[in-house]
């Protein structure tokens, strides 16, 4: 599978679009806001900066894309105001894969600029927003042109299906029978292949950013991760396990071929914090200022309260809503493998399976937030 070509969040503004189904990710941006502010304060510490290069990597489309940019600008504004310093000219680059719906972003830009001037004053006239299409697992910007990099809910996507699971023609070489991600029944070779691919990709990400950031430049990255060192526990990727169940049900009824399921593996990995720090230390260009793991439930809430499910029918309707949030993210990939015509049926079944699971359990995504500084 060519991830660059098939992975994109659902476009536009419709029922199944990412724009309408990304509250979980928007809440994650808000959770990391204070860490982003802290990193910017440290970055601007006592220095008057004339201009700043900022990048949001894996920006997607929809309201979250400009929400991250807004939070960064808001923090810069507050820091300059508190220190009674002029606001630097800002270059804000929004990056995603070439198939991303960049038009959605361009269409919202004039409203964004109006809001900036209205709420932050004329100092923000010099805020230059651009879009950069390409993979963040490689160079995107000139050497030493960036001061701050932000990325939210994106780095759990791998650059490709793990090398050892698929040959160069996209044919599966190790079978992950009836599953589409790491599962209790997966052979050890599958676990190893995923861990290896994450290490390789994340190291490449760090290497590329280390060239683009100025010494002392900072990054705040948040992405799905896990608490346990065991990648087969439910917190690691149970959304894929349930999706595989829905696919297998359809295979049993002859709606899709079982072989298609065996040959699909998600280009996704939820690392534990140890895997993240090992890669950072081995690459060597960044120091870890802060690393936190937070949990958020599948509907995007932090507390326990939301799991007060009173009836089976309530669980099912909440399951269907959760299925839509996952559909907005993974449909492009599944559609290219299983065909467009089975998507409605697949996500209807998936919603019911998620609903049943909700009735019994309190599923959560682990989320790693790491704040890094480029060594000088
Ligand atoms: N930051 C946004 C979007 C998260 S969705 C938010 O918080 O809501 C994840 C995004 O990462 C998707 O738009 C996907 O296309 C992008 N992405 C995945 N792999 C990427 C890569 N290698 N390079 C650039 N963007 C990538």
Per-residue pLDDT of the chain (376 residues; tens, 9 = 90+): 676 777 777 777 788 887 777 888 888 888 899 999 999 999 998 677 899 999 999 999 888 889 999 999 989 988 888 888 888 999 999 999 998 989 888 888 888 888 888 887 766 667 899 999 999 999 999 999 999 999 999 999 999 888 777 666 666 666 788 888 998 888 888 899 999 999 999 999 999 999 999 999 999 999 999 988 889 988 788 899 999 999 999 999 999 988 888 888 899 999 999 999 999 999 999 999 999 999 888 877 776 555 577 777 777 888 888 888 898 888 888 988 888 899 999 999 999 999 888 877 778 888 999 999 999 8
The torsion defined by the Cα of 128, 134, 135 and 140, in degrees rounded to 10, comes to -50
CA distance 5 to 100: 10
Q: Tell me, what's the pLDDT at 15? A: 80
Q: Is the CB of 367 under 6 A from ligand 1?
A: no
Q: Give the bridge partners for 219, in sequence order.
A: 149, 372
**Rounded alpha-carbon distances, angstroms, from residue 255 to 165, 167, 252, 333:** 25, 27, 8, 18
C-alpha 52 – ligand 1 centre gap (Å): 23
Cβ atoms within 10 A of the Cβ of 29, count? 21
Q: Is the CB of 316 under 6 A from ligand 1?
A: no
CA nearest neighbour of 248 among 339, 348, 346: 346
The structure tokens 């346990």 sit at 228
C-alpha 30 – ligand 1 centre gap (Å): 17
Which residue ranges make up each domain of the chain? Answer: 3-374
Q: What is the pTM of this model?
A: 0.91
CA distance 228 to 22: 26
C-alpha 311 – ligand 1 centre gap (Å): 35
Q: Tell me, what's the pLDDT at 58? A: 96
C-alpha 251 – ligand 1 centre gap (Å): 30
Domain 3-374 in CATH: superfamily? Vaccinia Virus protein VP39 (3.40.50.150)
Q: Tell me, what's the pLDDT at 121? A: 73
Contact 196, 189 (CB under 8 A): no
Cβ atoms within 10 A of the Cβ of 8, count? 20
243: left (phi over 0), alpha (psi -120 to 50) or beta: alpha
Question: What does DSSP say about strands 364-374 and 213-225: parallel, antiparallel, or unpaired?
Answer: antiparallel
* 3-state DSSP percent of the chain in helix, strand and coil, to 5: 50, 20, 35
Q: Tell me, what's the pLDDT at 172? A: 62
b (16+ CB within 10 A) / e for 281-315: eebebbeebebeebebbbbbeeeeeebebeeeeeb
CA distance 218 to 334: 35
First to last CA, the chain: 39
Q: Is the CB of 159 under 6 A from ligand 1?
A: yes
For ligand 1, atom 26, the nearest C-alpha belongs to 58
Q: What ligand 1 atom has the least distance to the C-alpha of 137?
A: 22
Q: Tell me, what's the pLDDT at 25? A: 85
What's the count of helices (H) and strands (E) in the chain, helices before strands?
11, 7
HSE-CB at 166 with a 13 A cutoff on CA atoms is: 19
Lookup: tokens for 21: 């189904």
CA distance 220 to 36: 6
* Full DSSP string of 183-206: -TTS-HHHHHHHHHHHHHHHHHHH
């Amino acid at each position: 599978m060519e991830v660059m070509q098939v992975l994109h969040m659902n476009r536009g503004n419709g029922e199944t679009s990412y724009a309408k189904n990304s509250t979980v990710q928007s809440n994650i941006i808000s959770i990391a806001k204070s860490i982003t502010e802290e990193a910017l304060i440290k970055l601007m510490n006592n220095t008057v900066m004339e201009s700043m290069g900022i990048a949001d990597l894996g920006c997607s489309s929809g309201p979250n894309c400009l929400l991250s940019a807004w939070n960064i600008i808001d923090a810069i504004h507050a820091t300059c105001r508190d220190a009674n310093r002029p606001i630097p000219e800002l270059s804000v680059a929004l990056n995603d894969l070439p198939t991303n719906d960049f038009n959605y972003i361009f269409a919202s830009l004039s409203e964004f600029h109006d809001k900036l001037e209205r709420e932050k004053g004329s100092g923000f006239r010099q805020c230059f927003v651009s879009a950069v299409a390409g993979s963040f697992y490689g160079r995107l910007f000139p050497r030493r042109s960036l001061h701050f990099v932000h990325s939210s809910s994106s780095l759990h996507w791998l650059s490709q299906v793990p090398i050892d699971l698929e040959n160069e023609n996209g044919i599966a070489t190790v079978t992950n029978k009836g599953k589409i991600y790491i599962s209790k029944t997966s052979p050890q070779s599958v676990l190893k292949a995923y861990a290896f691919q994450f290490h390789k990709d994340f190291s490449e990400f760090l290497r590329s950013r280390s060239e683009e950031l100025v010494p002392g430049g900072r990054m705040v990255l948040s992405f799905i991760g896990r608490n346990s060192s065991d990648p087969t526990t439910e917190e690691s990727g149970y959304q894929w396990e349930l999706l595989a169940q829905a696919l297998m049900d359809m295979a049993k009824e002859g709606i899709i071929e079982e072989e298609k399921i065996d040959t699909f593996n998600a280009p996704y990995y939820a690392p534990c914090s140890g895997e993240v720090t090992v890669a950072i230390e081995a690459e060597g260009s960044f120091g870890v200022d802060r690393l936190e793991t937070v949990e958020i439930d599948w509907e995007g809430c932090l507390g326990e309260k939301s799991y007060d499910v009173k009836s089976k029918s309530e669980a099912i309707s909440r399951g269907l809503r959760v299925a839509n949030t996952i559909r907005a993210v993974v449909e492009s990939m599944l559609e290219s493998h299983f065909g467009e015509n089975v998507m409605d049926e697949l996500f209807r079944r998936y919603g019911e399976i998620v609903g049943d699971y909700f009735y019994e359990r309190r599923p959560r995504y682990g989320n790693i937030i790491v704040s890094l500084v480029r060594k000088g």
